Structure formats: C-alpha cells, structure tokens
Amino acid sequence: MAKPKPPTPTVKAYADHHVITQPNRLRKAVRYVEDKELDDPVARAEQALAGLSNEFDNWMTIECNRLAAAYAVILKDGFSKPARDELFRAAHDIKGDAATFGYASAGLAAESLCRIIEHAPDIMQVPANLIAHHINAIQAIVREQTDVDRIDVASTLSTSLRSVADEYLTAANHDRPEHLEAILAPSIVPED
C-alpha cells in the first residue's frame, strides 16, 4: 500500500523545547451536514452493540474460565511471574469487559482482585482465601446472573470483597506511600 506523502509541520524553537504544529491531515474526514441530513452514529453503534448482546453471556463464561484456569496454574505451581501476570490480565479483562457484557458486579470484584495483585507487597503473603473468594465470587455472579433476585446479592458481595481487600492492602502498604496513595485514591471512572 502506497504511503501518503507526509504533510509539512511548522516548528517553533524555544530554549528547551520545540512546538510542532502538524497540518491536520484528518480534516479531510470532517464535513458539514444540514440538520435534516443528520443521522445519529452513536445510536447506530449502540444498536449494533445491542445486536451483539446475545453473545455476551458466552463471552463472559469464556473470560471466567480463563480466570479459573489461571488460578488453577497458581494452585498447582505457585506464583511464578508468568502465572501471576496471566491471573492479572484475566482479572483485568473482566474488570474492563464485564459491565459492557451486563455483569457489572463481576467487574467490581475483578477490579478488587486486580488491586490485590498489583498492590500487595508480596503476593505470596496474601491470604489464599482472599484471592480464592474473589475468583469464586466472580464465577458465582456470572453463573447466577440470570436470577434477578441475585443481582443485589452480587452487588453486596462485590462491595464486601472490595472492603476486605482494601483493608488488607491498606495495612500491608502502611510503609509504602506510593501504593497507599493509589489504593486510597478514588477511581477516575464515574459510578453509574
């Protein structure tokens, strides 16, 4: 594929930096439309996403199985760096995907697990039950999600796990201010 010729930027030099203003090569994609011609690309995309939603339960199950498999490796062989990293990535993917898939509480529990893996001073010293409870909770929330009566239970479970995890992490990091700051800082993601 032929590469387009790069546009020429203007450069202003200062004592310790340059300011480079690049011609906006993406302006080609901007157009003015009359109100009567307006469609709504966001609504169109939301509709397309809704069309995918019949896949979400299956996807969530796959993500949960991946998390369980990562934990099974740790139970068998211990916390090697690759095993720890895979557990983190599996939990982190659930944290990011679960709300989109309709499993917001599972996402919260996964976030709590990510915080434990990321901020525990020594992952080997984390009470085994704390990690196991998170993984069991995520699996249970996904398994029982179709039962409307369980949604409140799932939310309470996630919140309780987060509370216990934060208590542990705060105590374990009392002499690590940079981690303590990250643990106690509010999330940048707004609550629904």
Partner 1 sequence: MYRIDFNKLRFLVCDDNPHMRRILRTLLHSFGAREVYESEDGATALEMFSHYVPDIVITDWSMPIFDGLELAQMIRQPDANSNPYAPIIMLTGHSEKRRVTMARDAGVTEFLAKPISAKSLYQRIMNVVTNPRPFIKTKNYFGPDRRRNTNNSYVGPERRVGGEMDVMQQPSLIDKARVTG
Asked whether position 38 contacts partner 1 by CB under 8 A, the answer is yes
Among 8, 28, 124, 149, binds partner 1 (CB under 8 A): 28
Asked whether position 81 contacts partner 1 by CB under 8 A, the answer is no
Asked whether position 176 contacts partner 1 by CB under 8 A, the answer is no
Contacts of 179 (CB under 8 A, 6+ apart): 119, 121, 169, 173
Which amino acid is located at 60 in the chain? M
CA 148/CA 154 separation, integer angstroms: 10
Query: Which range binds partner 1 by CB under 8 A, 45-53, 137-145, 156-164, 168-176?
Result: 45-53
H or E element that contains 91: helix 81-101
Token pair listed for 21: 């203003």
Q: Counting every residue, how long is the chain?
A: 192
Asked whether position 20 contacts partner 1 by CB under 8 A, the answer is yes
Q: Which long-range contacts (CB under 8 A, 24 or more apart) does 7-13 make?
A: none
Asked whether position 49 contacts partner 1 by CB under 8 A, the answer is yes
Asked whether position 42 contacts partner 1 by CB under 8 A, the answer is yes
Asked whether position 148 contacts partner 1 by CB under 8 A, the answer is no
Least Å distance, CB 54 to partner 1, is: 13
CA–CA distances in Å: residue 4 to residues 7, 11, 22, 118, 135:
9, 21, 15, 43, 49
Asked whether position 44 contacts partner 1 by CB under 8 A, the answer is yes
CA 112/CA 146 separation, integer angstroms: 23
Asked whether position 124 contacts partner 1 by CB under 8 A, the answer is no
Specify the residue, 14 or 124, whose C-beta has the smaller distance to partner 1: 14
The residues binding partner 1 (CB under 8 A) are 1, 3-4, 6, 9, 12, 14-22, 24-33, 35, 38, 41-42, 44-49, 51-52, 55, 59, 62-63, 85, 88-89, 92-93, 95-101, 107, 111, 114, 182, 185, 187-190
